[in-house]
Structure formats: structure tokens, C-alpha cells
Amino acid sequence: DALLIRTNEGLKTRVFRKSTHTDLYLNFSSHHPRSVMRGILSGMIDRAIHLCSPEYLPAELRYIRRIFYKNNYPKQFIDQVFRRKFHGQNPHRLDTLQHPCLVVPYIVGLGEKIVALGRRLGFRVFFKSSPNLRSLLRTDKPKIPKDKKTGLVYTVECECSAIYIGETGNTLEHRFNQHKNSLTSYNNAKTLLNQDGPPSDRRGRRILNPRATMERAVQASAVVEHASQCNRPLHPKVLCYENNLHLRRIKEAMYIKHNRTYNRDQGADISDIWSNIIIRSKCCSIR
């Protein structure tokens, strides 16, 4: 928050803190990446620069140094953040458009080694939060039924042992109904095609050519293409859940690559470096 101060020269501003403010921030000894601690300090400096009038800025910066000393931040660490903020950018910053990224849970000691390795090899490292006691023990949060969950990789198995693998951002029921609707369109068009005379509606107007309808249904779904040649029942099943579209397509491609399917393509391009791990662990084997 900003405190407005009226002076003879006009309005001045500085950072406002309540009287109950404790000056407690993330302690330097806590189990968090150094990048998070650096970001907190950097954000405090940015706030001071944007809110404080020039005559109040030096005092606010001294106050920031003092409260971070109080939270066990080393002087060298604080000085480094101040230097980067006022005298240049991070020399280790990588071009986000040219370097791949790696997202891993943070572990003290190991995380810093991975970051250093990324700087040498040219990839960016981001840390995600590990499960805490609250997330592990909390039971009051409503759980979405499995049949209502969205974002998943699924398989449609035919009783002839043929398998189709796909992905969807919707529920399994919604996606399977799309396949069934395409199959219904195909079967209805096939029935019209086998009838005598040109197809027409009740008012006598000509409707869409059944052959064109059948071709469009087959092009829309590989499941329809298979079902048009095999009358056995189809059974959908969820393989895994994933809300992130990019990761979901990668998982779909891994399942397709390591199972015999009647998919028309192999999905997203994935590196062969993963193949040995997948084959050994059998993590993508359906049968």
C-alpha cells in the first residue's frame, strides 16, 4: 500500500505498513529455492522504487536490507540482488525462446546443482512445490467424480483386440459420444444408400449424398473407420489424466508409440531418448 503525504511542494508517496506488521518474510533457512527468496527481495525493491518519492527511497531501501537481515538473509545474498536490480541484468539469464526448460520438485542442495548444470548445458530449470501436510491430509475439499474429470488420454478397445488411443480436454463420456455420433451418421447414411431411389426428406427435397456423409464420418474418426469394418462392441477407458494440453499430447504419443493401434498418425513428435525408459518400465503398455 502507498502512504500519501501532503507537503508544500505537493503530494509525496512512500510505502505504508500497518502498526501490526511483523516484518516476517520467508526465512532464508526454509526449504525453498533460492530463486524464490531472490524474487521476494527483488519484488520488495521494485515496490519501493515504484511507490516511494525520491526523498523517501533511500530510507525504504535501508529498511528492506534491515528486515531481510532479520530474516537471516546473508549480506552477500542481499548485496547481489541489489546490484542486479540497480546495475544490470542477471548474467545467467537464458533466452526463453531458444533453450528448453525442465520442471522438477525442489530438494535442498540437489536443486542448486541442477540449476548450475542447466547453465552449462543450456537449459532452464524451474522448481515446483512438493506435496505438504495440508495437501496430503486435507479431506474437506470436494472431489470430482472420475467420470466427470476433464483432460485425459483414453483408449477405445474393440472386442476384436483392436485399440485406438486419443486425447481430449473434455470428459471421456463426451469424447466417446462424439465417436458414436459419427458412427451413427455413417450407419444412417449406409442405410439410405442401400434403399431404392434417391434420398430425400419428407418435403421431397434432396438431402446430402450418403456416400459423402459416410466419407466425412470416416475422415472424422479412425474409430468409425474401424467400426465400419467390424461390428463388435467398443469399450472406452481412461489411461491417464492430464490438464496441460502439451503434456497430454506427449503422453498420447508415448502410448501410441508403444502399443499396436489403428491410429492414423503417431501423435506429437517425441524424442527416442525416452523409448528405452518406457520399454524397461512398461509404463505405457496397455496389455
264 and 182 within one domain = yes
Residue 142 resides in a domain = no
Phi, psi angle pair for 238, to nearest 5°: -80, 130
Cα–Cα distance measured from residue 223 to residue 225, given in angstroms and rounded to the nearest whole number: 5
Confidence of residue 134 (pLDDT cuts 50, 70, 90): confident
71 and 164 within one domain = no
Residue 61 has pLDDT above 70, yes or no: yes
Give strand pairing partners of 148: none
251 and 178 within one domain = yes
CATH number of 161's domain: 3.40.1440
181 and 113 within one domain = no
165 and 43 within one domain = no
Q: How many domains does the chain have?
A: 3
Residue 233 resides in a domain = yes
What is the residue range of 30's domain?
A: 2-87
155 and 232 within one domain = yes
Residue 237 resides in a domain = yes
Confidence of residue 205 (pLDDT cuts 50, 70, 90): low
For the chain, the helix, strand and coil percentages under 3-state DSSP, each to the nearest 5: 45, 15, 40
116 and 51 within one domain = no
Q: Lowest mean pLDDT: which of 3-17, 83-97, 204-218?
A: 83-97
155 and 120 within one domain = no
19 and 75 within one domain = yes
How high is the pLDDT of residue 91? 52
Average pLDDT over residues 194-201: 60
Residue 242 resides in a domain = yes
249 and 165 within one domain = yes
Reported as a single tens digit per residue, the pLDDT across 207-261 is 568 888 888 888 888 999 999 999 899 999 999 999 999 999 999 999 998 899 9
Confidence of residue 87 (pLDDT cuts 50, 70, 90): confident
User: What CA–CA distances, in Å, run from 28 to 35, 131, 160, 212?
Assistant: 11, 20, 61, 68
| Residues ≥6 apart with Cβ < 8 Å to 12 | 4, 5, 6, 53, 55, 56
253 and 165 within one domain = yes
114 and 42 within one domain = no
Q: Which residues of 107-140 are buried (b: 16+ CB within 10 A; e: fewer)?
A: eeeebeeebeebeeeeebbebeeeeeeeeeeeee
